[in-house]
């Protein structure tokens, strides 16, 4: 009974995942390797009885912490995942990035994440797919656009996300029209869409940061250890690119300690993404990014 609320959240997320699978031919799930999207991946295994019949897409900014990539490929092999990544090779080659010192953080996010995502989802840029036999990535022959994209956004992350739908349409330019969103009632979702548009699907909308960690603890989900303090008195609360992500002060060394720490209310007044520098660049950094198709 203790985890009744987790039970409810799991049932709802599984329902949404199955609805997504039943309604979209070309379905992808974004896997950032962080805690939320890893919980999402676990929920997919729940929904499909140990199988993951959905392609996992990772947008590789080339500035992810190297452990994350190793962890990604290991899980992909262990769980027989259809694993695909995409990247803004052009911007990286031309050094149009913030760490290269040539553009702002926000502009860098647009290049390496938003644009990479847009073009990977549409199939316009090459995708690389993990060969489970060899453990190597190969050019993916499938160039079809993904019309359903499952994302691990949560409503409690920040203001604009609290207005999302479970099934949220994106137009041709990946844009989110916050003012004109579809109605959503009684578990009937928007599953019809005009050519050229696609839907973002948010099975974790109702989860809080604490729920995520409680669930990781209950299910014993393998999670990257970057979230834990390894003796420095610091840990990551939200994982992004290393040049723009700062750890928080914390001595939590494992999942149970993170759950306990969150329960004390220590972070209650500190936004989860406060370690993400790009959110602070204009009045509503994340909202500006999101309208433009950011995850």
Instruction: Considering the complex, state which of residue 232 and residue 269 has its C-beta at the smaller distance from other proteins.
Output: 269
**Which H/E stretch holds residue 27?**
strand 27-30
**Which H/E stretch holds residue 211?**
helix 209-219
24 contributes a contact to other proteins by CB under 8 A: yes
Cα dihedral across residues 166, 63, 241, 292: positive or negative: negative
Contact 169, 193 (CB under 8 A): yes
284 contributes a contact to other proteins by CB under 8 A: yes
Question: DSSP 3-state assignment of 20?
Answer: helix
Nearest residue to 56 (alpha-carbon basis) of 30, 80, 75: 30
50 contributes a contact to other proteins by CB under 8 A: yes
Instruction: Considering the complex, state which of residue 64 and residue 170 has its C-beta at the smaller distance from other proteins.
Output: 170
Q: How far apart, in whole angstroms, are the C-alpha atoms of residue 198 and residue 167? A: 10
Query: Exactly one of 78, 93, 186, 231 binds other proteins (CB under 8 A); which one?
Result: 186
Residues 104-143 that bind other proteins (CB under 8 A): none
Cα dihedral across residues 186, 191, 192, 197: positive or negative: positive
Residues 222-241 that bind other proteins (CB under 8 A): none
Taking the complex as a whole, how short is the minimal distance between the CB of residue 280 and other proteins, in angstroms? 9
197 contributes a contact to other proteins by CB under 8 A: yes
Query: Exactly one of 66, 101, 231, 283 binds other proteins (CB under 8 A); which one?
Result: 283
Q: How far apart, in whole angstroms, are the C-alpha atoms of residue 176 and residue 83? A: 26
Contact 252, 235 (CB under 8 A): yes
* Binding track, positions 62-101, relative to other proteins; x by CB under 8 A: ------------------x-x-------------------
Residues 143-162 that bind other proteins (CB under 8 A): 145, 147, 155-160, 162
Query: Exactly one of 6, 21, 99, 217 binds other proteins (CB under 8 A); which one?
Result: 21
């Amino acid at each position: 009974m203790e985890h009744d609320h987790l039970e409810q959240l799991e049932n709802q997320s599984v329902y949404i995942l199955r609805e997504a699978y039943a309604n979209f031919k070309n379905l992808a799930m974004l896997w950032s390797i962080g805690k939320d999207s890893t919980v999402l991946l676990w929920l997919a295994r729940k929904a499909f009885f140990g199988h993951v019949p959905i392609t996992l897409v990772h947008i590789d900014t080339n500035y992810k912490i190297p452990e994350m990539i190793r962890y990604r490929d290991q899980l992909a092999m262990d769980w027989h995942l259809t694993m695909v990544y995409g990247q803004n090779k052009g911007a990286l080659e031309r050094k149009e990035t913030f760490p290269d010192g040539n553009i702002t953080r926000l502009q860098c996010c647009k290049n390496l994440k938003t644009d990479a995502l847009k073009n990977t989802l549409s199939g316009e840029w090459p995708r690389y797919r993990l060969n489970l036999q060899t453990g190597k990535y190969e050019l993916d022959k499938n160039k079809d656009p993904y019309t359903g994209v499952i994302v691990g956004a949560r409503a409690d992350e920040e203001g604009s996300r609290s207005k999302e739908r479970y099934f949220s349409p994106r137009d041709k330019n990946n844009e989110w029209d916050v003012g004109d969103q579809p109605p959503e009632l009684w578990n009937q979702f928007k599953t019809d869409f005009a050519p050229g548009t696609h839907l973002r699907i948010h099975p974790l909308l109702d989860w809080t940061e604490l729920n995520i960690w409680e669930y990781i603890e209950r299910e014993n989900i393998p999670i990257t250890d970057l979230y834990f303090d390894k003796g420095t008195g610091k840990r990551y609360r939200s994982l992004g690119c290393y040049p723009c992500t700062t750890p928080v002060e914390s001595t939590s060394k494992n999942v149970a300690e993170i759950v306990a720490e969150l329960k004390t209310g220590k972070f209650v007044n500190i936004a989860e993404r406060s370690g993400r520098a790009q959110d602070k660049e204009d009045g509503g950094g994340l909202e500006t990014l999101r309208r433009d198709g950011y995850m």
